[in-house]
Amino acid sequence: MLADLQQLALAAAPQEICGILFGRDGRVSARRAAKNVADDPLRHFEIDPRTLIAAEREQRNGGERILGYYHSHPNGPVKPSTTDAESAAPDGRLWLIVNGQDAAAWHTAKNGEIYGRFDAITLDCFGAKGQTAAEWKS
């Protein structure tokens, strides 16, 4: 559930949490926590590559499909940062950003409206419709 993720984000603050989202057709059905291996986990996140590689391998072998990633902004709005934009591949995957109160979802794209990399999308997470990210469109 989204609320669980927000609780985890609160509990881990001021560190950023991160993980992988599974599902299809823009709908998140499961998540898997990953270690944040960023040099400065208070300001950035980097999903443990071992978790990512394992998930990619499982997908190739018929496991759950990787829909995208989540991470938290413990002290800020749930809008992608410029660092997020720099580290995001324009692969169409979903980025979910949460803090203790809010959540928003974004698609990575080649010419996204946010920092040239993200497009806001309606959040449809774990079966619960959330808020849209439209208000953060710049």
| Residues catalogued as catalytic | 16
Residue 15 binding Zn ion, by CB under 5 A: no
Residue 122 binding Zn ion, by CB under 5 A: no
By CB under 5 A, what part of segment 80-119 binds Zn ion? 81, 84
Place of tokens 């999308």: 121
- Pick the stretch among 55-63, 78-86, 87-95, 121-129 that binds Zn ion (CB under 5 A): 78-86
Cβ of residue 70: shortest distance to Zn ion, in angstroms?
10
Neighbours of 37 (CB within 10 A): 14
Cβ of residue 124: shortest distance to Zn ion, in angstroms?
20
Residue 90: cis peptide before it, omega within 30 degrees of 0: no
Nearest-CB residue for Zn ion: 84
Residue 46 binding Zn ion, by CB under 5 A: no
37 and 44 Cβ atoms separated by less than 8 Å: no
- Pick the stretch among 25-33, 35-43, 54-62, 79-87 that binds Zn ion (CB under 5 A): 79-87
23 and 49 Cβ atoms separated by less than 8 Å: no
Residues 85, 78: Cα–Cα separation, whole Å: 13
Q: 31 has which bridge partners?
A: 21
Nearer to Zn ion, 46 or 84 (CB): 84
Residue 29 binding Zn ion, by CB under 5 A: no
Residues 101, 38: Cα–Cα separation, whole Å: 24
Residues that bind Zn ion (CB under 5 A): 81, 84
